[in-house]
Amino acid sequence: MSVFILLLVLVIVVFAVKDIRISLISRPAFKFFKKVLPPLSQTEREAMEAGDVWWDGELFSGNPDWKVLHSYPKPELSKKECAFLDNEVETLLAMLDDYQIVQKDKDLPKEVWDYLKVNGFFAMIIPEKFGGRQFSAIANSTIVAKIATKSLTAAVTVMVPNSLGPGELLLHYGTKEQQERWLPTLATGEDVPCFALTGPEAGSDAGSIPDSGVVCKGEFNGEEVIGLRLNWSKRYITLAPVATVLGLAFKMYDPECLLGKEKELGITCALIPTDHEGVKIGERHYPLNMAFMNGTTYGKDVFIPLEWIIGGQQGAGRGWRMLVECLSAGRGISLPALSSATGHLCSRMTSAYAVVRQQFGVSIGQFEGVQEALARIGGLTYSLESCRLMTAGAIDLKLSPSVVTAIAKYHMTEMGRTVMNDAMDIHSGKGIQVGPNNYLAHGYMGIPVSITVEGANILTRNLMIFGQGATRCHPFVLKEMEAAGMEDDELALKQFDGLLLQHIIFAGTNAGMAFVHGLTRSYFAKSPVSGATTNYYKQLGRMSRGLAFCTDVAMLILGGELKRKEMISARLGDVLSHLYIASTVLKRFEDEGRQQADLAFVQYSVERNLFEIGQAFDGFFKNFSNPFVNFLLKRIVFPLGNHYHRPSDNIAQTICEHMTKPGVFRNRLTHLCYVDDNAGTGVMEQAFAAMNDTADAFKRIKKWQREGVLNRNASVEVVIDEAVEKQLITEQEGRRLQDANELRKQAIAVDNFSKGTL
């Protein structure tokens, strides 16, 4: 006991006496930290510093404040935004024939283009004073999602001008003159924008773009001025074939030092009219049969004045920061909207099809194999919509949460892919026959587009989420990196010492609390609510402790290698991501009044995310290079083992019961799904309603067939007529059954084409 007390006193003295602490702990740690600090490129540094830390910071803290989560305002549409959805959007959707657009015309009809321009669909983010709609991020997201349930081509066409592009960049960084010149014509559709970043030699790695702008003297409007001589080759640029104004990203050089001492100014963005001499547009790509405009743009020795740089000359070299901060629109609004739309469409149509389609004399929705996939569709749709709402809500708070939007981009597009695959599996033969009545085919074809754009998903998961999150969201690491980078070593050491002491306490607390909560199954952990979701908050808090502790250990042992150990770091990124997604589900449940009908969907979503967190930790432990550390981490985070499991069959079956019955909940779950009275979705909905209305009568028919009262081998039509003849049912009831059966046959039918018409 005396030895233990002596050791305890020594530890206290070492940490309490500043000079001793600096000499024995902080100085060696400082040298080690500088040695293992991963080298950061200028691009990485700017990306890391851009954007805002939001709820992701709480999740990385090890002790998330759930009151903060609940304090975020519930995302809601204004009256004018609701009116736009109910009027202009509905009118647009009625104009769209997606089969004609995609399979025949390969373009939107002229009247649709004109309607989009005249009615401000390209001006949702532009302020009213410039003639725009000035809609919120949640409205932007909701409008795009609703359109996407009818036509992905139309949705992308509307989406792009309202995300990363000239409008967004002008609003945040443009000079007054640039805003007054361009925003009014962008608002009216007189000008159509595109933004050119990606090229043949640079995709996700924008820092390596070879496109250049060299400062030089040239002639503009008959006068010699200092400007830029541009050369570029870009591809995959949406709206480029029809754009009238080109946003261009390039590297800016000043070899003659005409603007100052710097010769390499960095990535810069400029706005260039596409009718300017030397600009080439018009060539189209054909992305997986989708009909939205996407193509190339080239320029050789194109001279522009400096005032065409976004932000004027002051914007020179600021392009990368502009892009990273504005990418929140694409990653946090547009792509999540498309993914959520996939959920709304697939949930509504697949649940209907599961009732309407019959095999072996019963609806396929009664088979447990179908129920498993249908429950996954429903549960993921609830998660998708929850994540869409909360992420767009952050942008409406005037934030640019770069880590959160990267999480949303990656995981929502992947969830959308899973949902679509399950929907296709359940629809089976009907899903694969392309035609005017196939409401899934074009969305299925377009899934890889969402996966690829705005940072390919492999890159986003393996480099961005944890790569940025570990430094931006951690309460101390970025500050320690800044201290280590200071030129004055003594001042840096002094600052580092204070941070290190806090960091040690932080790591020790998280390790201890993770272990205690693991032993007690979080029984004594705090929860902001009571009732069915209490334990979910406790478990997420426990996993937040585990993430914070494992992150510190991984950075301590692997140092700069962690950036290159992508499989290891991606698993920690998965933990952060699933903590975030589960948080959005719980937030939505509270925002919408803890409705009992939602509970099974909340349980499915949170339990699925906890299971994925457990799997990510297991993979992290198993593949950590140091076996002793592996053993230690596992015993601290899961001292009694990993007990997280997939949602139960009972929860899945409860979800299916809600989805396959008409009513308020089903309408709320799929409220963004557009149902066209004259197309496949409308017929399917009518058949679904009719089959539910006549379900009891058809059960009686089946019972009489089993008992031998009615013919067991005749067609449905014949059996219904037989039941009427035998006065088992009335003539009116018989007509209802015949009408329902006719709708059922129409709904499960596929399109046929005459020879030579395809």
Q: How far apart are CA 552 and CA 503, in angstroms?
A: 9
> Is residue 494 in a domain?
yes
Place of tokens 């981490």: 633
pLDDT digits (tens, 9 = 90+) for 545-579: 999 999 988 887 887 777 788 999 999 999 999 99
**Phi, psi for residue 294 in degrees, rounded to 5:** -150, 130
**Integer angstrom CA distances of residue 295 from 160, 241, 298:** 14, 6, 10
pLDDT in the model for residue 4: 46
The answer to whether residues 598 and 479 belong to one domain is: yes
Q: Among 143, 163, 183, give the residue marking a domain's end.
A: 163
Mean pLDDT of the chain: 90
In this prediction, residues 601-612 reach a mean pLDDT of 98
CA dihedral 365, 366, 368, 374 (to 10 degrees): 20
- Is residue 139 predicted with pLDDT exceeding 80? yes
Number of structural domains in the chain: 4
CB atoms < 10 A from the CB of 176, how many?
8
pLDDT in the model for residue 612: 98
Looking at the chain, the whole-number percentage of residues with pLDDT higher than 90 is: 73
Query: For 283-287, 335-339, 497-501, which range has the lowest pLDDT when averaged over its residues?
Result: 497-501
> Is residue 687 in a domain?
no
Asked if 686 and 355 touch (Cβ cutoff 8 Å), the reply is no
In this prediction, residues 347-376 reach a mean pLDDT of 96
CA dihedral 628, 633, 636, 641 (to 10 degrees): -100
Q: How far apart are CA 133 and CA 322, in angstroms?
A: 23
- Is residue 13 predicted with pLDDT exceeding 50? no
| CATH value at residue 303 | 2.40.110.10
The answer to whether residues 723 and 596 belong to one domain is: no
pLDDT digits (tens, 9 = 90+) for 20-30: 666 666 677 66
Q: Count how many residues are written for the chain.
A: 758
pLDDT digits (tens, 9 = 90+) for 109-132: 999 999 999 999 999 999 999 999
Q: Among 163, 180, 211, give the residue marking a domain's end.
A: 163
pLDDT in the model for residue 8: 46
Asked if 573 and 550 touch (Cβ cutoff 8 Å), the reply is no
> Is residue 414 in a domain?
no
Q: How far apart are CA 658 and CA 648, in angstroms?
A: 16
- Is residue 730 predicted with pLDDT exceeding 50? yes
pLDDT in the model for residue 35: 67
pLDDT digits (tens, 9 = 90+) for 669-687: 999 999 998 789 999 999 9
The answer to whether residues 258 and 213 belong to one domain is: yes
- Is residue 45 predicted with pLDDT exceeding 70? no
pLDDT in the model for residue 757: 82
Pairing mode, if any, of strands 212-220 and 264-273?
Answer: unpaired
The answer to whether residues 528 and 596 belong to one domain is: yes
The answer to whether residues 569 and 490 belong to one domain is: yes
**716's tokens:** 């449905």
Sign of the C-alpha dihedral, residues 278, 282, 287, 292? positive
In this prediction, residues 98-102 reach a mean pLDDT of 96
pLDDT in the model for residue 107: 97
pLDDT tier, 240 (very low <50, low <70, confident <90, very high otherwise): very high
**Annotated active-site positions, please?**
454
Place of tokens 């080759």: 233
Q: How far apart are CA 214 and CA 235, in angstroms?
A: 21
pLDDT tier, 204 (very low <50, low <70, confident <90, very high otherwise): low
Domain coverage including residue 510: 2-49+474-647
Asked if 199 and 209 touch (Cβ cutoff 8 Å), the reply is yes
> Is residue 205 in a domain?
yes
The answer to whether residues 495 and 595 belong to one domain is: yes
Place of tokens 């941070």: 499
**Residue 171 burial (C-beta neighbours within 10 Å; 0-12, 13-18, 19+):** middle
> Is residue 311 in a domain?
yes
The answer to whether residues 118 and 224 belong to one domain is: no
Q: How far apart are CA 130 and CA 119, in angstroms?
A: 14
Place of tokens 């709609």: 133
The answer to whether residues 510 and 617 belong to one domain is: yes
The answer to whether residues 265 and 310 belong to one domain is: yes
> Is residue 637 in a domain?
yes
pLDDT tier, 460 (very low <50, low <70, confident <90, very high otherwise): confident
pLDDT in the model for residue 470: 77
The answer to whether residues 204 and 88 belong to one domain is: no
Query: For 167-176, 228-237, 271-280, 498-507, which range has the lowest pLDDT when averaged over its residues?
Result: 498-507
> Is residue 420 in a domain?
no
pLDDT digits (tens, 9 = 90+) for 518-531: 999 888 888 999 99
The answer to whether residues 640 and 496 belong to one domain is: yes
| CATH value at residue 127 | 1.10.540.10
- Is residue 5 predicted with pLDDT exceeding 60? no
Q: Among 293, 323, 353, give the residue marking a domain's end.
A: 323
**Whose CA is closest to 328, among 270, 384, 271, 394?**
394
The answer to whether residues 530 and 616 belong to one domain is: yes
In this prediction, residues 190-201 reach a mean pLDDT of 92
> Is residue 514 in a domain?
yes
